[in-house]
Amino acid sequence: MLRLAINGYGRIGRCLLRALHESPLRERMAVVAINEPADLESIVHLTRYDSTHGRFHLPVEEREGGLRIDGQPIAVSHGNTPEAVDWAALDVDLLLECSGRYADRSGIDRFLAAGVPRVLVSNPMRNAEQADATVVYGVNETALHCDARIVSNASCTTNCVVPLLHLLLDDPGIEAAVITAVHSAMNDQPLQDGYHRTDLRRTRSALQSIIPVSTGLGRGVERLLPALSGRIQAHHLRVPTLNVSAMELCLQLRRDATAEEINRRLQNAAAGPLAGVLSFTERPHASCDFNHDPHSCIVDGTQTRVTGRLLRLMAWFDNEWGFANRMLDVAECWSRNWVKETA
Ligand SMILES: NC(=O)c1ccc[n+]([C@@H]2O[C@H](COP(=O)([O-])OP(=O)(O)OC[C@H]3O[C@@H](n4cnc5c(N)ncnc54)[C@H](O)[C@@H]3O)[C@@H](O)[C@H]2O)c1
């Protein structure tokens, strides 16, 4: 049984724990430790009840300063730094870093020095060199080598668009792309107007406005698909919904295509090599229909438009649940390589 720990038990950290309990992967891995600065009473409460994903389907208890879920103990600590936790004593195989506090190798190295053997980070690193690999599951999980110590799971938006771009890259070919994320509100925005360290737009109430924020999505895509370097523009709009986001991709193709041809190709990939990562629908959905959907990307075939070489695609994704499930897939895939390459 693979022993996992979570650092930063917020939206993604809590989704990870739930997603594992709802997945067959629970037979192969277990969360044995959580480090979260918040108090234990709040940790227990927010594990039991979730405005977005509902009640936890298993009994959640507070026991001996930690959590007990369906009888399984999880040690809980409240450190603010990697050194504040005795990671070595917890004997974990992999730390899932979900605090969003670390984008540099020097920061993650502190966990390694404190006794964690490997770290999977829930955000893109500052640049490619800051991790041993940046992985979008379904596209480049072959990069998960047993000697890797720091792996980034990229971002939820990267996980949504990279499988699509990858499928169209060679044929019909992509000359240039403009990608817009329409993203649900996040915990880095205030409920009412309030101060933000770096971004004046993020001082505004998340409830009231569509808020353009900066995004590293263009760089994130180029990191995974270097053939698109210098040919991507990305934009990110935060909207007042709790969860589930949409991506709009406008692609200048290298040859003429039709909407039917593009949809057929994406539908075949969703039913075949990318099953579980990519999905395809032609029903008249709204975003809330995809709450708790584990796919990284659900193509809305009704929104595909082609004019000559100009293609417009739209895809939905549960930015929390899809991403948490991909972190588990990456953890599982990476762990198989430890076994294989060290055997
Ligand atoms: N929410 C999403 O949809 C989403 C999707 C993909 C990736 N991410 C990324 O995952 C990261 C976390 O996002 P989130 O939405 O879960 O944020 P969040 O604010 O809900 O959770 C972060 C948690 O980390 C804790 N924390 C703060 N400082 C800490 C420290 N020093 N040590 C340990 N824990 C600490 C906070 O108390 C909080 O509970 C971010 O980098 C975000 O970009 C988020």
DSSP letter assigned to residue 283? S
Q: Check pocket membership of 47 for ligand 1, CB cut-off 6 A.
A: no
pLDDT recorded at residue 337: 87
Same domain membership, residue 163 and residue 311: yes
Q: How confident is the model at residue 180 (pLDDT cuts 50, 70, 90)?
A: very high
Contact 106, 295 (CB under 8 A): no
ipTM above 0.95, yes or no: yes
Domain limits at 130?
2-154+323-342
Q: How many domains does the chain have?
A: 2
Same domain membership, residue 52 and residue 102: yes
**Active site amino acids:** 156
Determine the Cα–Cα distance for residues 142 and 311; give it in Å rounded to an integer: 30
Q: What is the CATH number of the domain that holds 133?
A: 3.40.50.720
Pull the structure tokens for residue 111: 């966990």
Among candidates 216, 127, 129, 230, which has minimal Cα distance to 174?
A: 230
Q: Which of 158, 186, 290 to mutate to test the pocket of ligand 1 (most atoms within 8 A of CB)?
A: 186
pLDDT recorded at residue 285: 98
Q: How confident is the model at residue 341 (pLDDT cuts 50, 70, 90)?
A: low
Q: Across all residues in the chain, what is the average pLDDT? A: 97
Q: Which residues are 176's β-sheet partners? A: 252
Ligand 1 atom closest to the Cα of residue 12 is 16
What are the backbone dihedrals phi and psi of residue 293, each rounded to the nearest 5 degrees, phi first?
A: -85, 125
Q: Which residues are annotated as a binding site for NAD(+)?
A: 11-12, 122, 319
**CA 248 to ligand 1 centroid distance, Å:** 25
Q: Are strands 245-253 and 174-184 parallel, antiparallel or unpaired?
A: antiparallel
Is the pLDDT assigned to residue 342 strictly greater than 70?
A: no
Determine the Cα–Cα distance for residues 186 and 218; give it in Å rounded to an integer: 20
**CA 99 to ligand 1 centroid distance, Å:** 4
pLDDT recorded at residue 343: 57
Same domain membership, residue 336 and residue 288: no
Ligand 1 atom closest to the Cα of residue 80 is 31
Same domain membership, residue 298 and residue 174: yes
Q: Check pocket membership of 37 for ligand 1, CB cut-off 6 A.
A: yes
